Amino acid sequence: MEGVTTLVGQGLYMAVAAVAGLSIARILKRDNTLGCLIAGVLAGMLLPVFDYDTGLRAENLQQLVFFVILPVLIFDSAWKIDPDKLFRWLGPILLLATVGAVICALITAILVYYGIYHPSGFPWLAALLTGAILAATDPVAIVARLRKTSANEELLTLVEGESLFNDAVAIVLFSLVLGIASHSAMEGSAATGEAISGAGGFALYFAVVFFGGLAVGSLCGLVTAIVILFLRSAGAALMVLVLAAFGSFYLAEHVVGVSGIIAVMLCAIVARACLREQYETYLSHAEPTWEWLSLLFNALIFVIMGLVITFEMFSHQWLAMIIGIVAAIGARGFAVFLLAPFARYVGPPIPANWRLILSWGGLRGVIAVALVLSLPTELPYWWTVQSMVFGVVLFSLLVQGTTSTRLIRQLES
C-alpha cells in the first residue's frame, strides 16, 4: 500500500509541475513545451528543499515512455489527420518519412561521429542511436503557426502526415539500434561486429517489424471500427478507442513481435477512415479526450526533461550539443531537398516554398525527448547522446520555433 501512495504522490508532483508549466507558457506567451521545461527545471531545484524523490529512474522511464506515453501521442496524431487528404498525399509522405528518415538518420550519425571523433568513447552505435532519435520530427509548433496564418490545408496535411510516419519509422530504427547497442554492451565488441556485418539480416528484420506492424495495426483498426459500429454509444466508442491505442501496441509488440508504434498509428488511421460517416454522431467526444491526454503527456515529457537536465550538460557537453544541432538541421534539409523532386512520381508535386518549411519546420520535440529519456544508463555514452538531443530540442524551441512564423509568412505571401 505504501508503494501505491508513493507512486500517486510522485505522479501528482509531476502533474502539478505540468500545470505550472502551462501557466508559465501563458504568462510568457510561449509554447507549452517551453513552459513545461522551465517548470521541470524549477521543480528539480525544489526537490532538495522538500527532500523528495520523484522516483524517476532510467529503467522505469523506458517502460513509461513505450507502454504509456508514446501509444497515446501517436494515436492522437494519427486520429487528427483527415483520411481523404492523407491518402492524396500518401506517396510523398511515405517517401519523406521512410527513405527520408533513414537518410536523415544516417547523415546525422556520420556528422556527429566525425564531429566528436572519439571512437572508444563515442562509437558508431552511439552515433546511429543519435541519428535515429534526431530523425523524429515534432511539428506541433509549426502546425499551430500554419493554422494561425490560414495556410493551405494540403500543406498542413503533408507536414502532419510526414511527421507522423516519420516518428514511427524513427522509433523502429531507434528500437533496432538500441537492441544491438544493449547486446554489444553486455557481450563486448565482437557482438558489435557480428551485428553490423549482418546488414542483410538487419534490413530483413526491419522490413518484418515494419510491415508486420502495418498488418497488425490495420487489423486492429478494422476490429475497432466494427466494435464501435456495433455498440453505437459515445461513451463506449471512447472506451474502445483508448483500449485500441494501448491494445494494438501490446498485441504487436509482445504477442506478434512486430512494431507496436506502427500498429498504433495504422489502427488510428484505419479506424478513423472506416468511421468517417459516424464522426459527428457518437465520435464527437473522442477529440476533446485525446486532446487533453496528449496535452498531459506532452507536458509531462518536458517536465521530466527539465527535471533531468543539468548545468553540467552545458559546461561539459557544449561542443557535442553544437555538433548535434548542426548535424540535425543539415541532415534534415539535405533529405528534404534531395527527395522532394521525386514526389511528383508518387503523388502531387511538392512546391519549392513548401520544401523550406518542411526543412526548417522539422523541429525536434516530444518524441526525441521521450526516446532519449529511455536510453539505458548501462550504455557508456548515454549522457553524451542525451546532452546532444537536449541541445537540439532546446534549439528547436528557442530558435526554429520562434522564427518559423516570419518564415511562413514570407513564403506564403
Q: Please indicate, yes or no, whether residues 340 and 215 belong to a single structural domain of this protein.
A: yes
Residue 62 lies in a domain: no
Q: Please indicate, yes or no, whether residues 100 and 229 belong to a single structural domain of this protein.
A: yes
Q: Please indicate, yes or no, whether residues 286 and 378 belong to a single structural domain of this protein.
A: yes
Distance CA 385, CA 167 (A): 18
pLDDT at 195: 46
Distance CA 332, CA 353 (A): 16
Q: Please indicate, yes or no, whether residues 21 and 149 belong to a single structural domain of this protein.
A: no
**Range of 28's domain?**
1-55
| Residue 243 confidence class, pLDDT cut points 50, 70, 90 | very high
Cell numbers that stand for 411 in this block: 513564403
The pTM (predicted TM-score) of the whole model is 0.84
Residue 61 lies in a domain: no
| Residue 193 confidence class, pLDDT cut points 50, 70, 90 | very low
pLDDT, one tens digit per residue, over 337-349 is: 999 999 999 989 9
Q: Please indicate, yes or no, whether residues 162 and 299 belong to a single structural domain of this protein.
A: yes
Residue 169 lies in a domain: yes
pLDDT, one tens digit per residue, over 199-211 is: 566 677 778 888 8
Q: Which amino acid is at 371?
A: L
Q: Please indicate, yes or no, whether residues 30 and 158 belong to a single structural domain of this protein.
A: no
Cell numbers that stand for 217 in this block: 495495426
| Residue 335 confidence class, pLDDT cut points 50, 70, 90 | very high
Domain closes at, from 14, 29, 55: 55
Kind plus residue range of the DSSP H or E element containing 169: helix 153-187
Residue 11 lies in a domain: yes
Concatenate the DSSP letters of all residues of 192-218 into one string.
HHHHHH-HHHHHHHHHHHHHHHHHHHH
pLDDT(108) > 50 = yes
Q: Domain count of the chain?
A: 2
pLDDT(225) > 90 = yes
Name the 3-class secondary structure at 92.
helix
